[in-house]
Chains A and B, each alone.
Chain A
Amino acid sequence: MGTSFKNSIIAVLTFGGGTALLFLFTFIHINQGNVSIPITTVVDAIFQPEDTLAHHTVRILRLPRAMMGILAGGALAVAGVVLQTVTKNPLSSASTLGIHSGTYFAVVASTVFFPIALLGNGIVVAFLGGIITFLIVFILSGGNKATPVRMVLAGMIVTFLFSSLTSVLQIFYENETAGLFLWGSGTLIQNDWSGVQFSYPFVIIGFLVILVMSFKLDTLKLGDDVAIALGQNVGTVKFISIIAAVMLTSVTVSVVGPIGFVGLVAPHIIKLIGYRKHVPLVIASFIWGGNVLLLADILARVIDPSFSELPVGAITALIGAPWLIWLVLRMKRNHYGEENTSVIAGKTTVAMPLKIIIPTLIGLIILVLFANLASGNYGFEPVLIFQAFFGDSNEFMKNLVLDLRLPRAMVALTSGMVLAVSGLIFQGVLRNPLADPSVIGITSGAGVGALLTMFVFGVSAIWIPIGAMIGSFVFFLAVMLLAIRAKFQPTILALLGIGISAFGSAIIQILVVQSDLGVAGALTWLSGTTYAKGWHEFIYYLIWPIVIIFPILAWRISVLDTLSLGDDTAKGLGLRVMSSRFQLAFLATVLAALSVAAVGAIGFIGLIAPHVARLLVGPSNRRLLLVTILIGGLLLLVADVLSRTLLAPNEIPSGIIVAIIGAPYFLWLMKKRA
């Protein structure tokens, strides 16, 4: 009797209270705006509309925005429920699985190449982009057998990939994509009811389809085998509900842009309350998803009451990221335990002898270095090099080669080396093939540090690198402190890194919007580039890792091999697992921070270089170290020469070139492992 009474109280609070809160938030929401309109006028505008400006403002600008918030929040939350059930992954949502970035990329790409396909807000394009991205992530991370962490990491990499491709399009087709730029962060602003009118039929259909599938989704939770035994067509259920979930996501992206974390937070609130069955779960998630998004939009305008808009997506990430971290820490015992996620050991290809590999790589580097120095705005001019180094050229060309091209090439070469080693260590420490300095949150920490240096302390751009280094260390320590209780388990570390990264990105977005000016320099720098780098960066940041840290690593690197055997085995072999992990991760962070200070956030090198090295010489880290160093240097050296010459005199950030080279390789790698 007591429990059923308690249950009905909870039900009343969840559904009745949630709906009441929805009305309350809507009311607060429509009282916010650029013009102060008295509350009585707002009430009149709703119940006794007249043909006055204030009434129209409430009815045509503010109400649609609130309604769009409820629709989008609800749709994203319901999509989150479905994704979590079907992938059997509590961390799934449209943003963590990369669906948002894929959808966004599809819209940007078709704006450039097939504008005709964008009829009806681009819903078809967005939908196809979403479905394809989901399939890529789902299949490449191992489908039904994928561990949650692998799936989320795959989602993150795909996000990374699509955002790089989107930036490429934005650089090459600046004019065509100009209007889409702000969309990337998601905002609820509406001019009239057309956004709501367009989206509500899709949302209702998607919602109803999922509601109908609810009982089947319940069975699915018992496991595929049980569901099949109960006579269910598992494939069809999954197919239909995923289609509905992606449709809900793409309709919100096509109207309000990608808004992350609502789909993660809202379903978990309901699950925490205690609902497990899908009918109440779906309905309550819709209500609370609307609440979360409305509240975020209210907060966005409280934080920034001026006319300029703070993207609501930044606020949801600011709320959502700590939530993700909390969720990870809370679930560590029951779900992940000491599960062996090692994927590095084994799968040895035929290892080639170092005697051949290393001279070949050094030869290649010399060759590319030569090509790099010989190429510039006027194409490939090899004769110049000889003249520059051996006498009789004019002073001017000599300076051009020795003062502009050579130092920049050296910076590219060495920062590529440093980044690659950092990636190698993180992959070993986390026992995760997808790890990279950005996974641990270091890159986003560097961004926060850089912007805070400029925005809060108002110092000049010269201090950015120092701010960036401090930022990356703070974020690294935060991740490590949080991970202490989880004994630095690889999966936990990686997930915490993702949470911290998202939190950092949200802060970056808010700072950029708030500061109006003076961050332009920081922003180009953040995207990662070897542009205008010279001896200064080389001497201050890049020479130290090579002189001091590389030798230490040469001595300590074999610890990674022991770690890769799994915690128990490593302990059995007498290794102090926790402290070894911490030490190595610390060294890797120093490396990443130094490279970030020198060339900004260049991704993919730390990810790819160790893998290429592994393919060539097998899994032994001692053998890997030098090969990884050489490959990383070679990659960035190639990217540097391309970034200078492809669009000359305009530059393409070399970070983006790396992504274009790295992306296809990466997809191939994932497919091979799946």
Chain B
Amino acid sequence: MKKILIVVCILFLSLLAACNEPSEEEKKTKDKNTTDREIKIEDAMGTQTLKSTPKNIVVLEWSYAEDLLALGVQPIGVADLDGYNKWVNVDKKLTKSVKDVGTRQEPNLEAISRLKPDLIIAVKYRHEDILDSLKDIAPVVTFAPYSEEATKNQYKNMKEEFKKVATIVDKTEKANLAITDLEEFIEDQKNRIKDAGLEGSKYIATQAFSAQNTPTLRLFTNNSIVSQIMSDLSLENAYESDKVEPYGYSEVTVEALQNFQKENLQFLYIVQNDDNIFENQLKGNPVWENLSFVKNGNTHQLPGDTWTFGGILSAHVLTEQLVDALVEE
């Protein structure tokens, strides 16, 4: 019954979307109008006014690069391009012509300047003290993804920022479509969870690595994108931090896992292949082997390139990876 309802809903929504799609002619006239359209954007530093729709955008934080891709816009420059290609694993790719503009923490002003951008997208926590220099090059929109407000719900914030990016490049409709698409996809994936009989289960999700040979785990808290998607998938996070974690996780050692023995929970983990602490350091160690979810075989590995801090496209991939990990075992 529910399935049919969902299918109907999807049909209805796509119909709506199709109706909204402007005809070719309308598009052309719109383009003409937008060449000198003025855009006002609320960002972390106040209201920014852009004189026209920017075409050449330099992005200094990865998630906005994929937001642009989702809207069908190629940025002209991205900070730490190698890192982006390593970590951000989404279907839509940056073209070869996209230039590297240095590190995300210290982007190269000259490289940015040489690209003659008409917009720079920056983040407050990294670029606050170079904003003046950036503004000398081009208008800057500054997001604050880890501000007190944003960090309360990073998933919601990610979607809001995505909409703002869309407003800037004048693709609001496309953004709404992409968000609906993601929500539908999550709704769809929920069925797989249900079919596997995992609906409503408790879980812990973690990213684990070794620091000085010591297994260190980042447990995702409820404000994280991972946790919000999991909750949309009808799963419940067993881990609760006593303070708001700005990045959406707390760092713990293996001892802390003992606090989650009563519930029959699912343990999801992301590790790099060359640093798999559960294989290398903890295998055979009774403090790990005796944990209830290890004994019950409820541990699920996600691929090493799972990107949990991304934008709209990463959220799509993340959803799929989470469900794959939970179901296919």
Binding site for B on A (CB under 8 A): 33-35, 51-54, 56-57, 60-61, 179-183, 187, 189-192, 257, 306-309, 376-378, 396, 399-400, 403-405, 460-462, 464, 516-518, 520-521, 524-525, 529, 531-532, 534, 536, 644, 648-651
Contact B129 A461 (CB under 8 A): yes
Q: Is B215 an interface residue (CB 8 A)?
A: yes
- Contacts A191-B215, A307-B256, A462-B129 given; does A648 touch B290 at CB 8 Å: no
Assign chain B's interface to a size class: 35 or more
Q: Is B87 an interface residue (CB 8 A)?
A: no
Q: Which 8 A-B pairs have the closest CB atoms?
A: A649-B108, A34-B256, A307-B252, A649-B102, A649-B111, A56-B286, A517-B246, A183-B212
- Give 20 A-B contacts (CB < 8 Å), ordered by A residue: A33-B255, A35-B259, A53-B261, A53-B291, A179-B209, A181-B211, A191-B214, A192-B285, A378-B114, A405-B110, A460-B128, A461-B129, A516-B247, A521-B129, A524-B105, A532-B133, A648-B111, A649-B101, A650-B103, A651-B106
Pick from B146, B212, B251: contact of A187, CB under 8 Å: B212
Known contacts A51-B286, A61-B255, A516-B247; 6 further A-B pairs (Cβ under 8 A):
A53-B291, A57-B255, A308-B250, A309-B253, A521-B129, A649-B100
Distance in angstroms between the alpha carbons of A397 and B43 in the assembled complex: 30
Q: Given the complex, which residues of B lie within 8 Å of A378, measured CB to CB?
A: 114
Binding site for A on B (CB under 8 A): 100-103, 105-111, 113-114, 116, 125-126, 128-130, 132-133, 136, 146, 209-215, 242-243, 245-247, 250-256, 258-259, 261, 275, 281-282, 285-287, 290-291
Distance in angstroms between the alpha carbons of A327 and B63 in the assembled complex: 54
Q: Given the complex, which residues of B lie within 8 Å of A404, measured CB to CB?
A: 109-110, 113, 133
Pick from A34, A403, A524, A648: contact of B252, CB under 8 Å: A34
Contact A191 B246 (CB under 8 A): no
Minimum distance in angstroms from A337 CB to a CB of chain B: 44
Distance in angstroms between the alpha carbons of A257 and B213 in the assembled complex: 11
- Contacts A404-B113, A525-B129 given; does A189 touch B214 at CB 8 Å: yes
Q: Given the complex, which residues of B lie within 8 Å of A529, measured CB to CB?
A: 106
Question: Which of A405, A531, A534 has the most chain B CB atoms closer than 10 A to its own CB?
Answer: A531
- Contacts A51-B286, A56-B286, A191-B215 given; does A532 touch B114 at CB 8 Å: no
Q: Which single residue of chain B is at the shortest CB-CB distance from A515? A: B246
Question: Which of B212, B243, B281, B282 has the most chain A CB atoms closer than 10 A to its own CB?
Answer: B212
Contact B108 A651 (CB under 8 A): yes
Contact A534 B128 (CB under 8 A): no
Contact B212 A257 (CB under 8 A): yes
Q: Given the complex, which residues of B lie within 8 Å of A517, measured CB to CB?
A: 125, 146, 246-247
Q: Which single residue of chain B is at the shortest CB-CB distance from A653? A: B106
Minimum distance in angstroms from A175 CB to a CB of chain B: 9
Distance in angstroms between the alpha carbons of A189 and B287 in the assembled complex: 14
Question: Which of A56, A396, A536 has the most chain B CB atoms closer than 10 A to its own CB?
Answer: A56
Q: Which single residue of chain B is at the shortest CB-CB distance from A516? A: B246
Contact B290 A53 (CB under 8 A): yes
Contact A34 B259 (CB under 8 A): yes
Contact B247 A400 (CB under 8 A): no
- Contacts A53-B261, A57-B255 given; does A400 touch B110 at CB 8 Å: yes
Distance in angstroms between the alpha carbons of A651 and B80 in the assembled complex: 12
Distance in angstroms between the alpha carbons of A377 and B113 in the assembled complex: 11
Minimum distance in angstroms from A575 CB to a CB of chain B: 44
Contact B285 A534 (CB under 8 A): no
Distance in angstroms between the alpha carbons of A130 and B253 in the assembled complex: 30
Distance in angstroms between the alpha carbons of A461 and B105 in the assembled complex: 14
Contact B275 A179 (CB under 8 A): yes
Q: Given the complex, which residues of B lie within 8 Å of A53, measured CB to CB?
A: 258, 261, 286-287, 290-291
Minimum distance in angstroms from B216 CB to a CB of chain A: 8
Question: Which of B105, B126, B133, B242 has the most chain A CB atoms closer than 10 A to its own CB?
Answer: B133
Question: Which of A60, A404, A650 has the most chain B CB atoms closer than 10 A to its own CB?
Answer: A650
Contact A461 B128 (CB under 8 A): yes
Distance in angstroms between the alpha carbons of A405 and B133 in the assembled complex: 12
Minimum distance in angstroms from A533 CB to a CB of chain B: 9
- Contacts A191-B214, A191-B282, A517-B246 given; does A651 touch B110 at CB 8 Å: no
